[in-house]
Amino acid sequence: MRYKAILFDVDDTLLDFQTGNHNAVNQLMDELGYYDPDRYDQYEAVNLKCWAELEAGLLTQSQLKVARFVRFFDRYPVQGDPRWAAERFVTLLGQQSILMPHALETVRQIAQRLPVAIVTNGITDIQRSRMALSPLKDYVTEVVISEAVGVSKPRPGIFTIALERLGVKPRDALMVGDGVNSDIRGANNAGIDACWFNPAGKTLPEGVHTEYQISDIRQCVAIALGQATK
């Protein structure tokens, strides 16, 4: 068998982050009494900029958790305490554990033959809560969360931690994820083979390479178990 362990991203690879995030943001805005019809897009513009700064090393995870709401409250007429909003959002998003199509069967099949680890750029309380609510937990050997270990994708350190916990060398692992910068570039940086989950058929940018591209998460079963060619 080509690989000895498979690493998975969580958000928009195994769990439907977009739907869960939308649910949590709207519930929070209702509680804050902010009903602008563009409120979700307004928040996401601020939020995504913060995550880009995290990946660039300009923000830490703990700073991001509050900074996105401080900036949002500064920019829009939202009443309340952004620090309370930050903590409340952790609770609300932690309740969102919606599986992506075919994610459970895919992980289950791979886990019957190989150890599976989660490697995620996320807030510890949110990701632990979502995983605890998900049936995926029964098939995952390790969960490595950026805030908990102090290093984020695409830096190689977070992958090194996952591999050390599994007792596997980089050349014997495969990273599966949808994020070009976080997952694929991160795997490149760590010397790990990459499988890009790309259901939208996007073009891979220059300077990043992937051993595999898939449009259906079920395709990574054959890859993981050595039943497919590059």
Sorted by where each begins, the domain ranges of the chain are 5-16+99-224, 17-94
- Kindly list the distances between the CA atom of residue 113 and the CA atoms of 6, 69, 173, 221, in Å, as whole numbers in the listed order: 10, 43, 14, 10
- pLDDT exceeds 70 at position 52: yes
Give the pLDDT of residue 227.
82
Helices (H) and strands (E) in the chain, counts: 10, 6
The rounded distance, in Å, linking the Cα atoms of 151 and 147 is: 7
The rounded distance, in Å, linking the Cα atoms of 169 and 5 is: 9
Is beta strand 142-145 parallel, antiparallel or unpaired with respect to 173-177? unpaired
List Cβ<8 Å contacts ≥24 apart for 191-200. Answer: 191/156, 192/7, 192/159, 192/163, 193/3, 195/220, 195/223, 197/9, 197/13
Cβ contact 203:33 at 8 Å = no
- Kindly list the distances between the CA atom of residue 193 and the CA atoms of 60, 69, 216, in Å, as whole numbers in the listed order: 27, 36, 18
What strands, in cross-sheet order, belong to the sheet with 142-145? Answer: 142-145, 116-120, 5-8, 173-177, 193-197, 212-214
Mean pLDDT across 102-123: 97
DSSP 8-state assignment for residue 219: H
pLDDT of 129-159, one tens digit each?
Answer: 999 999 999 999 999 999 999 999 999 999 9
Which has the closest alpha carbon to 88: 39, 50, 32? 32
Mean pLDDT across 42-59: 94
pLDDT of 21-33, one tens digit each?
Answer: 999 999 999 999 9
Give the pLDDT of residue 230.
52
The structure's pTM equals 0.91
Cβ contact 22:104 at 8 Å = no
φ/ψ (deg, to 5) at 143:
-125, 115
Return the CATH superfamily for domain 17-94. Putative phosphatase; domain 2 (1.10.150.240)
Fold of 5-16+99-224: Rossmann fold (3.40.50)
| Token digits of residue 81 | 């305490």
Give the pLDDT of residue 129.
97
CB atoms within 10 A of CB 70: 16
